[in-house]
Chain A
């Protein structure tokens, strides 16, 4: 993934996270050490698009991050957040982030977004993502957001 695309991704995703969740993203150039990878419960959100251009992005939210953006998004109490709401928020985040990205990469609007899907992954290790060519990492207050994307 080239640097221009990474920059656009960062700008677009930051707009979504800051506007909707009051959460700031900081791009990470290098993967953290093994002990800081944050293995455990994650929410995976997947979205693809096809038409004028094709692509697929996978988002991996550490549970704490997923829960906190849901709290900020819905304005609900942390203890009252349900798993379905976290999954739904993750899917909607992927939709907004990639919808925004597509608006910049495909201004003619030829490509169509698919419906995003989300699922909970128990005992997931982001170590499995290291080495992916389309890997982007963003540090947040509640752990690292991992994104693996492909755009053509």
Chain B
């Protein structure tokens, strides 16, 4: 039921804030993984089961838009929803992201409620069956009691 979340942002502080915001949102989190740029994010995606990606756009080495393009080109990775959390909120940038299948777009500065709303919306779309599981349901099914 819990979701593994990859946070890609070159700011360690922003990664910490996003992790805290998600943790407080009530979304069941399995593990957080962190990347400083798109390149690191792809390396993590190659080796780790990730359910959703929260990424900045403006990052060194490989930005979020290139990461999105790489993810959208990969048959396995394209199933993973990617949400941009970024200062770059022009219509042109949003349209470009939509063309490559971005799942959500959050503009910085953000309210925690905005992240929560978009994250739930995206997770419901991609993993409705998992969100419907009630906490403890898996344990109860496996239990003899």
Q: Give the B-binding residues of A (Cβ under 8 A).
A: 15-16, 19-20, 70, 73-75, 84-85, 88-89, 91-92, 95-96, 98-100, 102-103, 106-110, 112-113, 115
Q: Is the CB of B88 within 8 A of A75?
A: no
Tell me the interface secondary structure of chain A in the complex.
Answer: helix
Decide if B109 touches A74 in the complex (CB within 8 Å): no
Give B residues with C-beta under 8 Å from A. 10-14, 16-17, 20, 58-60, 86-93, 107-111
Of all chain A residues, the one with the shortest Cβ separation from B109 is A19
A115 touching B90, Cβ below 8 Å: no
Secondary structure of the B contact surface, majority rule: loop
B111 engages A88 (CB within 8 Å): no
Contact: B109 with A113, CB < 8 Å?
no
Contact yes or no, A115 B88, CB < 8 A:
no
Kindly list chain A residues whose C-beta atoms are within 8 Å of the C-beta of B92.
108-110
Q: Indicate if the CB atoms of A109 and B90 lie closer than 8 Å.
A: yes
> Contacts A113-B58, A113-B87 hold; do A99 and B108 have CB atoms under 8 A apart?
yes
A92 x B90 contact (CB < 8 A): no
Contact B11 A95 (CB under 8 A): yes
| Chain B residues closer than 8 Å to A19, beta-carbon distance | 109-111
Of B11, B14, B90, which one neighbours A108 at CB under 8 angstroms? B90
Most A CB contacts (10 A, CB to CB) among B86, B90, B93 go to B90
Quick check: A99 and B13 within 8 Å, CB to CB? no
> When the two chains form their complex, are residues A100 and B90 in contact, meaning their CB atoms are under 8 A apart?
no
Known interface pairs A91-B11, A95-B11, A99-B87; 11 further A-B residue pairs with C-beta atoms within 8 A, sorted by A's residue number: A75-B20, A88-B12, A95-B87, A102-B90, A103-B90, A103-B107, A109-B91, A109-B93, A110-B92, A112-B58, A115-B58
Known: A20-B109, A74-B16. A103 touches B10 (CB 8 A): no
**CB–CB B17/A74 < 8 A:** yes
- For A15, the closest partner residue in chain B by CB is B109
B89 adjacent to A103 (CB under 8 Å): yes
CB distance from B47 to the nearest CB of A (A): 26
- 5 A-B pairs whose Cβ atoms sit less than 8 Å apart in the complex: A99-B58, A100-B107, A100-B109, A110-B92, A115-B60
